[in-house]
Amino acid sequence: MDPRVSVVDKRLAGIERIIAVTGGKGGIGKSLTSSVLALTLAQLGYKVGLLDLDMSAPSAHVILGIDGIFPEEEYGIIPPEVHGISFMSICYFTGDEPAPLRGEDITNAMLELLAITRWGALDFLIVDMPPGIGDAAMDVIRWLKRAEFLILTTGSKVALVTVKKVIQMLQELQKPIVGVIENMKMRESGLVRDELSAYNVPLLGAIEFDMDLEDKIGDAAALAESTMAARLTEIVIQDPRFKLSQN
């Protein structure tokens, strides 16, 4: 018997809201959005954690410019606080070496992080989900029982075809969906609204395609000033779905 699953709930017990950022495909901005959302919430004064669960291609540390730090050991491991965010990723352990992980290895590595990381008290834990609805994503959905899902799409039919499947699956599993954000918006179009109208999911807003975003990667202060941060701040402040229960 694998003892680790049994302790996951206990590790997450001090967290008020777990927001898992997902979407159909790779490359639609899950990692950027998770990282900038975590920054935004931290700037608004919330206690925030960020967990990168993309074991094959962890990238939140690159986005936030996190390098040369290692978690402390204390009855488990304590995620280091960087830019006001408690940050955990497999990157602390793999360094820059390529680590080819099979499905079972990915499951094991994610579960190990969930079992040993002590987050303490947080308002929000933002989870950068493994892409799609494969083994890894299904594991996370099963283990993070209290997770609420923030779904990213782009305004392209190619992204939407898979996003619809993600939404349908989450709804079948009766998982809460915070809403959908359209990322990399390039023009006005009703496509996202029309394609998703049948699913009864809140459309939270859109983040424009930002030509200058690339220059801000690795620089948390610059990212906090990006249009992505501005849009996410609007969404978080205006949308009642981001309120904590006590406020």
Partner 1 sequence: MHEWALAEAVIEAAVEDARKEGMTRIREITVRIGELQQIELDPFTFALDEIIKLHGELLQHAQVKLEDEPAIFKCRVCSTEWHYQKASLNEAEGEAIHFAPEVAHAYMRCPRCKSPDFEVLQGRGVTIQRITGLK
Ligand X SMILES: Nc1ncnc2c1ncn2[C@@H]1O[C@H](COP(=O)(O)OP(=O)(O)O)[C@@H](O)[C@H]1O
Provide the binding-site residues for partner 1, judged by CB under 8 A: 1-7, 10, 55, 73-77, 90, 92-95, 97-102, 105-106, 108-109, 112-113, 115-116, 118
- 31 near Mg ion (CB under 5 A): yes
Closest CA to 147 of 173, 112, 113, 177: 177
List of E strands, 53-121: 72-73, 77-78, 81-82, 85-89
Q: For partner 1, which is the closer residue by CB, 28 or 106?
A: 106
Distance CA 159, CA 27 (A): 10
Pick from 17, 30, 83, 164 the residue near ligand X by CB under 6 A: 30
**Residues forming beta bridges with residue 124, ordered by sequence position:** 17, 48
Q: How far apart are CA 230 and CA 46, in angstroms?
A: 17
Query: Toward ligand X, which CB reaches closer, 48 or 228?
Result: 228
> End-to-end distance of the chain based on CA atoms, in angstroms?
41
Phi/psi at 211 (5° precision): -60, -25
Of 115 and 166, the one with the shorter C-beta distance to ligand X is 166
Asked if 210 touches ligand X (CB under 6 A), the answer is yes
- Nearest approach, Cβ of 166 to Mg ion (angstroms)? 15
Which residue, 232, 234, 231, 209, is CA-closest to 156?
209
Task: Name the binder of 121 from ligand X, partner 1, Mg ion, none, CB < 5-8 A by kind.
Answer: none
Among the listed ranges 10-18, 92-100, 155-163, 210-218, the one in contact with ligand X (CB under 6 A) is 210-218
Name which of 73 and 225 has its Cβ closer to partner 1. 73
C-alpha to C-alpha distances, 184 to 28, 56, 61, 234, 237, nearest whole angstrom: 8, 23, 21, 16, 21
Site residues for ligand X, 160-189, by CB under 6 A, read: 183-184
Residue 31 as a binder of ligand X (CB under 6 A): the answer is: yes
- Between 34 and 233, name the residue whose CB sits nearer to Mg ion: 34
Q: Which does 228 bind (CB under 5 to 8 A by kind): ligand X, Mg ion, partner 1, none?
A: ligand X
* Binding-site member from 15, 20, 29, 143 for ligand X (CB under 6 A): 29
Q: Residue 64: which H helix or E strand, with range?
A: helix 60-64
Instruction: Give the H or E element holding residue 84.
Output: none
Q: Which does 28 bind (CB under 5 to 8 A by kind): partner 1, Mg ion, ligand X, none?
A: ligand X
Rounded distance between C-alpha atoms, residue 43 and residue 245, angstroms: 19
From the list partner 1, Mg ion, ligand X, none, partner contacted by residue 151 (C-beta under 5 to 8 A by kind): none
Which ranges of 95-212 does DSSP label H, i.e. alpha helix?
103-116, 135-143, 157-172, 191-196
Residues that bind ligand X (CB under 6 A): 26-32, 59, 183-184, 207, 209-210, 213-214, 217, 228
Residues that bind Mg ion (CB under 5 A): 30-31, 54
